[in-house]
């Protein structure tokens, strides 16, 4: 499936006529919108050319429509079964009045023809629209959700009385909608996106009123601005409301999901809360299926790995395994493979825990072990649904292993992951799980192992010193000496503004890919010529893509 980025929205002519926007700006905005998939209005705001407010005002003027602010909107928004919450959020539309003969909506982008056409189809001539900013529309939605929760009949009963930690639901809702709370989260989300964070960690310190906030960037945590004293509780409540959690429940962990337009882009976040001794901690995982490594070519696989992977996924059946510790990018790789196979002529079913990347065209199942809906149970069900390709999130018990092998032997192409350190260990693990060795060899097409290494920041990196060169020479020889010393480009990381002083920017996947007959050899020594992760790491260091220290850290090598 190709990612199509249509230019959404048009720019009111007024900005060009009155000179707010030059032709040069316009081109820049169009390019940025096309490159990022963000709507034009979001790009204008982000580049500081036209703020959300100016945009809304100009649209209203241009179209002769009313300008609507948060104060003009009802706290409880009217509902209509024909309008899904998802459509409204995605299109940045909020219903303000719905009556039998008329309907009034606030929209952020009156030039979004598809979204407006949908409203026209439903409400016909009775439809009228006003213009509001994205921010006010998001606020109205959050306020409505909070009010709905506060109205829920049993919400107040859930708050256990008196131990000093208790604030009632009304108070929490009020805190959640405080201007400083809203502003803090806006800034935090902007920073997370700007810094390409994969996770946001909010942790209470000492009293519930203060907190530490960190972002995970390229696999490492970095501390960012914490909320002002006194607003942490409101920040937590707001996140829980946005994630559809119960704000009055503060003693048990909860899970939720936030899908929100941030910096003009649709961002999907998985949210988990957990009670700590000083209050609630919240972790948000940014499930960014927009910029992720979602195509095989984006993974920058070395030629020998991509050839092997390409050949393996072209098979009509067999088992393809990806191994690596948590956070090594296994899910991304599997989804990249699914994307490569995602065509009408194939039925693809994935069984995941949880579904992290949603892809149109795939049938995705989320298992829930507590309900007995395990990988094995789901796999049994899936086999009755006539699939061509099956992805099983993880094999960790013998029942799942046996079912996966059987599926691979009966005409299905099966993908899965194993929690092992190397491809070689995967073979041992499968045998431990009760798969006979001869079967393993006949059914397994390929075992890939992977790690993510941080790419050295090209802005600040310097040429490595002689000591590093000596150390690298030893490592190169130990891994078979595949590189040519005359072309070495060894780097040492330093740190600058471009990389937030970390010395690294972005990540690269480090792969090994082995066919069954190589698995046994790989456990032995480098002279067998099997390309291992270590030899791949050496190649990346030699090419100056990352540093020797980074590869040693990732592979858990302390010295030579
Ligand atoms: Zn740098």
Ligand 1 center to residue 42 CA distance, Å? 28
CA separation for the pair 238, 256 (Å, rounded): 12
| C-alpha of residue 56 to centroid of ligand 1, in Å | 38
State the span(s) of the chain assigned CATH 3.30.300.160: 13-137
* pLDDT at position 165 over 60: no
Give 235 Cα–ligand 1 centroid separation in angstroms.
32
Kind and range of the H or E run holding 214: strand 210-217
pLDDT at 478: 84
In the reported structure, the alpha carbon of residue 483 is separated from the centroid of ligand 1 by a whole-number distance in angstroms of 26
Ligand 1 mean position, distance from CA 382 (Å): 48
For 234-275, the three-class secondary structure string (H helix, E strand, C coil) is HHHHHHHHHCCCCCCCCCCCEEEEEEEEECCEEEEEEEEEEE
According to CATH, what is the number of the domain 163-286? 3.30.450.90
User: CATH 3.40.50.300 residue ranges in the chain?
Assistant: 296-555
Give the CA angle between residues 174, 236, 166 to the nearest 5°: 65
Q: How far is the CA of 493 from the centre of ligand 1 (A)?
A: 8
Q: What distance in angstroms lies between residue 509's CA and the mean position of ligand 1's atoms?
A: 20
**pLDDT band for position 524 (50/70/90)?**
low
DSSP 277: T
In sequence order, the 6+-apart residues with CB closer than 8 A to the CB of 119 are 93, 103, 105, 127, 129
Q: What's the mean pLDDT when you consider all of the chain?
A: 83
Nearest 5°: the CA angle 221, 224, 227 is: 130
Q: Which of 14-18, 73-77, 171-175, 488-492 has the lowest mean pLDDT?
A: 14-18
Give yes or no for residue 166 having a pLDDT over 60: no
Taking the centre of ligand 1 as the mean of its atom positions, its distance from the CA of residue 459, in whole angstroms, is 5
Quote the pLDDT of residue 417. Answer: 94
Determine contact, residues 510/452, Cβ cutoff 8 Å.
Answer: yes
Q: What is the mean pLDDT of residues 179-199?
A: 86
Rounded to the nearest angstrom, the distance between the alpha carbon of 456 and the centre of ligand 1 is: 8
Q: Using one digit for the tens of pLDDT, what is the confidence trace for 485-499?
A: 999 999 999 999 888
Average pLDDT over residues 178-205: 87
CB 424 within 8 A of CB 519: yes
What average pLDDT does this structure show over 354-374? 84
Tell me the CA–centroid distance for residue 463 and ligand 1, in Å.
14
Cα dihedral value 54, 59, 61, 63, nearest 10: 180
- What does the pLDDT average to over 64-85? 86
Query: 143 CA distance to ligand 1 centroid (A)?
Result: 41
Q: How far is Cα 303 from Cα 306, in angstroms, rounded to an integer?
A: 5
- Band of the pLDDT at 12, cuts 50, 70, 90? low
Percent of the chain topping pLDDT 70: 88
21 CA to centre of ligand 1 in angstroms? 33
Closest CA relative to residue 141, chosen from 199, 182, 170, 194: 182
pLDDT digits (tens, 9 = 90+) for 252-281: 888 888 887 776 667 788 899 988 888 899
Cα 460 to averaged position of ligand 1 atoms, centre (Å): 4
* Spatial separation of the C-alpha atoms in residues 51 and 15, rounded to whole Å: 12
| More confident: 320 or 91 | 320
Query: Residue 318 and residue 312: Cα distance in Å, rounded?
Result: 8
pLDDT at 5 over 50: no
Please state which CATH number belongs to domain 296-555. 3.40.50.300
Beta bridge partners of 95: 105
Is 60 exceeded by the pLDDT of residue 243? yes
Rounded to an integer, the average pLDDT of 15-19 is 73
Q: Which fold has domain 13-137?
A: GMP Synthetase; Chain A, domain 3 (3.30.300)
Compute, in angstroms, the gap from residue 425 CA to the centroid of ligand 1. 36
pLDDT for residue 502 is more than 70: yes
**Predicted pLDDT of residue 202:** 95
Q: What is the pLDDT of residue 472?
A: 92
- CATH 3.30.450.90 range(s) for the chain read 163-286
Give the residue, 304 or 396, on which the prediction is more confident: 396
Q: DSSP letters of 158-196?
A: GS---SS----HHHHHHHHT-HHHHHHHHHHHHHHHHTT
Strands 389-392 and 413-418: parallel
- Expressed in angstroms and rounded, the spacing between residue 218 Cα and the centre of ligand 1 is 13
341 and 359 in contact (C-beta within 8 Å)?
no
- Tens digits of per-residue pLDDT, 107-133? 998 877 777 888 888 888 888 999 999
CB crowding 377-402: b at 16 or more within 10 Å, else e: bbbeebbeeebbbbbbbbbeeebbbb
Tell me the pLDDT band of 292, cut-offs 50, 70 and 90: very low
Does residue 158 surpass a pLDDT of 60?
no
- Helix %, strand %, coil % of the chain (to 5): 40, 20, 35
- Ion ligand 1: residues, CB within 5 A, are 457, 459-460, 496, 498-499
The residue among 69 and 14 whose pLDDT is bigger is 69
Q: Which residues share a beta bridge with 283?
A: 201, 272
Q: How far is the CA of 454 from the centre of ligand 1 (A)?
A: 12
Confidence of residue 520 (pLDDT cuts 50, 70, 90): low
pLDDT for 282: 95
How many Å lie between the centroid of ligand 1 and the Cα of residue 500? 7
Tell me what pLDDT residue 130 has. Answer: 93
Residue 494 alpha carbon to ligand 1 centre in Å? 7
pLDDT of res. 329: 80
**C-alpha span between 414 and 434 (Å, rounded):** 18
Residue 376 pLDDT class (50, 70, 90 cuts): very high
Give the bridge partners for 418, in sequence order: 323
How many angstroms separate the alpha carbon of residue 506 from the centre of ligand 1? 11
Interval between CA 18 and ligand 1 midpoint (Å): 41
Indicate the pLDDT class of residue 521, thresholds 50, 70 and 90.
Answer: low
Which residues neighbour 130 within 8 Å (Cβ) at sequence distance 6 or greater?
A: 60, 65, 66, 67, 68, 72, 96, 104, 105, 106, 107
How far is the centre of ligand 1, averaged over its atoms, from the C-alpha of 195 (Å)? 13
Torsion-angle region of residue 104: left (phi > 0), alpha (psi -120 to 50) or beta?
beta
What is the per-residue pLDDT across 426-443, written as a single tens digit (0 to 9) for each?
A: 988 999 999 999 999 899
Q: What angle do the packed helices 303-313 and 330-341 form, to 10 degrees?
A: 50
Are 284 and 199 in contact by the 8 Å Cβ rule? The answer is yes
Instruction: Check whether 4 has a pLDDT greater than 60.
Output: no
């Amino acid at each position: 499936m190709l990612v199509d980025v249509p230019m959404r929205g048009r720019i009111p002519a007024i900005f060009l006529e009155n000179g707010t926007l030059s032709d040069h700006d316009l081109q820049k905005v169009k390019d940025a919108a096309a490159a990022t998939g963000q709507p034009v209005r979001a790009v204008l705001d982000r580049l500081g050319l036209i703020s959300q407010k100016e945009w809304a005002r100009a649209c209203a003027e241009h179209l002769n429509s009313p300008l609507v602010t948060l104060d003009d909107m009802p706290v409880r928004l009217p509902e209509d079964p024909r309008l899904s919450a998802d459509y409204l959020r995605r299109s940045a539309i909020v219903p303000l009045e719905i009556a039998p003969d008329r309907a009034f909506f606030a929209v952020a982008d009156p030039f979004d023809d598809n979204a407006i056409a949908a409203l026209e189809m439903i409400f016909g001539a009775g439809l009228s629209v006003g213009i509001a900013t994205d921010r006010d529309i998001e606020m109205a939605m959050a306020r409505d959700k909070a009010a709905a929760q506060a109205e829920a009949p049993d919400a107040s009963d859930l708050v256990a009385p008196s131990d000093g930690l208790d604030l009632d639901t009304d108070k929490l809702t009020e805190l959640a909608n405080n201007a400083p709370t809203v502003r803090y989260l806006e800034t935090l989300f902007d920073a997370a996106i700007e810094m390409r964070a994969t996770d946001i960690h909010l942790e209470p310190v000492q009293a519930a009123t203060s907190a530490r906030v960190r972002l995970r960037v390229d696999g490492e945590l970095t501390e960012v601005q914490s909320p002002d004293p006194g607003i942490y509780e409101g920040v937590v409540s707001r996140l829980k409301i946005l994630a559809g959690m119960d704000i009055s429940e503060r003693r048990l962990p909860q899970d939720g999901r936030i899908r929100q337009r941030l910096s003009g882009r649709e961002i999907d976040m998985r949210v988990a809360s957990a009670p700590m001794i000083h209050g609630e901690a919240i972790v948000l995982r940014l499930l960014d299926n927009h910029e992720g490594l979602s195509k095989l070519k984006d993974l920058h696989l070395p030629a020998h790995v991509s050839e092997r992977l390409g050949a393996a996924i072209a098979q009509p059946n067999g088992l393809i395994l990806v191994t690596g510790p948590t956070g090594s990018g296994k899910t991304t790789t599997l989804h990249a493979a699914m994307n490569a196979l995602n065509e009408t002529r194939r039925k693809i079913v994935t069984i995941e825990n949880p579904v992290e990347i949603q892809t149109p065209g795939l049938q995705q199942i989320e298992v829930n072990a507590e309900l007995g809906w395990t990988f094995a149970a789901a796999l049994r069900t899936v086999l009755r649904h006539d699939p061509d390709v099956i992805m099983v999130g993880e094999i960790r018990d013998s029942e799942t292993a046996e079912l996966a092998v059987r599926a691979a032997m009966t005409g299905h192409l099966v993908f899965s992951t194993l929690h092992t350190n190397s491809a070689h260990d995967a073979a041992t693990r499968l045998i431990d799980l009760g798969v006979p060795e001869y079967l393993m060899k006949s059914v397994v097409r390929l075992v890939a192992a992977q790690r993510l290494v941080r790419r050295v920041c090209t802005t600040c990196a310097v040429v490595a010193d002689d000591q590093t060169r000596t150390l690298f020479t030893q490592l190169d020889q130990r891994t078979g000496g595949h590189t040519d010393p005359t072309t070495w480009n060894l780097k040492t990381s330093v740190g600058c503004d471009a990389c937030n002083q970390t010395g690294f920017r972005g990540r690269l996947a480090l792969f090994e890919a082995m066919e069954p007959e190589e698995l046994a050899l790989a456990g032995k020594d480098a002279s067998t010529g099997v390309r291992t992760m270590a030899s791949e790491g050496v190649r990346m260091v030699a090419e100056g893509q990352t540093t020797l220290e980074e590869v040693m850290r990732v592979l858990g090598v302390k010295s030579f």
